[in-house]
Amino acid sequence: MTEQQWNAYHDIRRAVLFEARGLIGYDANHPDDRRDGHFPLLLLLENTPVGAARLDLMSDQTACVRTVAIKAECQGKGHGRMLMAGLEKFASQHEVKRLLVNAARDAVGFYEALGWTVIEAGGENPVLTKELRTRPQW
Ligand SMILES: CC(C)(COP(=O)(O)OP(=O)(O)OC[C@H]1O[C@@H](n2cnc3c(N)ncnc32)[C@H](O)[C@@H]1OP(=O)(O)O)[C@@H](O)C(=O)NCCC(=O)NCCS
């Protein structure tokens, strides 16, 4: 990512996941964003950043989806679905077969609409999973 894209990535996450929830302390220098196997992703709409997420590769062809956020004024218009479709494609290209997410409670319906299944409903952040379709063997 360019410096400008890093700034957009942090701005979206800070505004949507912290400020909109009344939280402070967003860390734009968190080492997890630059760790090997961690991929910060930005959704661009005609070159304008509208959403962000991070994909963390784990073991056993599993990856964890982190900090999914669509700009407030862009929510409810299919951009989250688009972001996750791109993320799934990217994950498949990295041989990922299974995605996991620790979801915000009020975002569970979003993941379910995209074919995810709740595997741990209790706790503050329900855990959902989605198996990625394997590519056809030609
Ligand atoms: C959750 C979020 C990423 C969804 O993005 P979005 O662009 O608003 O979602 P979309 O418009 O692409 O919606 C896709 C589908 O999910 C559904 N959906 C979206 N948000 C939902 C929610 N909070 N609860 C239930 N269903 C939801 C939509 O109705 C739509 O279903 P449909 O296509 O069958 O009609 C976005 O609203 C957001 O950033 N929210 C605040 C941060 C957050 O909660 N992030 C998740 C952290 S785990």
Provide the domain count of the chain: 1
Q: Give every CB contact of residue 127 below 8 A, 6+ residues apart in sequence.
A: 100, 101, 102, 103, 118, 119, 120
Per-residue pLDDT of the chain (138 residues; tens, 9 = 90+): 899 999 999 999 999 999 999 999 999 999 999 999 999 999 999 999 999 999 999 999 999 999 999 999 999 999 999 999 999 999 999 999 999 999 999 999 999 999 999 999 988 999 999 999 876 555
- Cα(137) to centroid of ligand 1, in Å? 33
CB 117 within 8 A of CB 98: no
Asked if the structure places residue 136 within a domain, the reply is no
In this structure, what CATH number is given to the domain that contains residue 41?
Answer: 3.40.630.30
How far away, in angstroms, is 66 Cα from ligand 1 center? 15
Amino acid found at 54: R
Residue nearest to atom 44 of ligand 1 (CA): 107
Residue 138 domain-assigned (yes or no): no
Phi, psi of 36 (to 5 degrees): -60, 135
**Which residue range is the domain that position 58 belongs to?**
3-131
For 62-84, the DSSP string reads EEEEEEEEE-GGGTTSSHHHHHH
Q: Is the C-beta atom of 128 inside 6 A of ligand 1?
A: no
Helix intervals (H) in 2-138? 3-13, 79-93, 108-113
Instruction: Please indicate, yes or no, if residue 8 is contained in any of the structural domains.
Output: yes
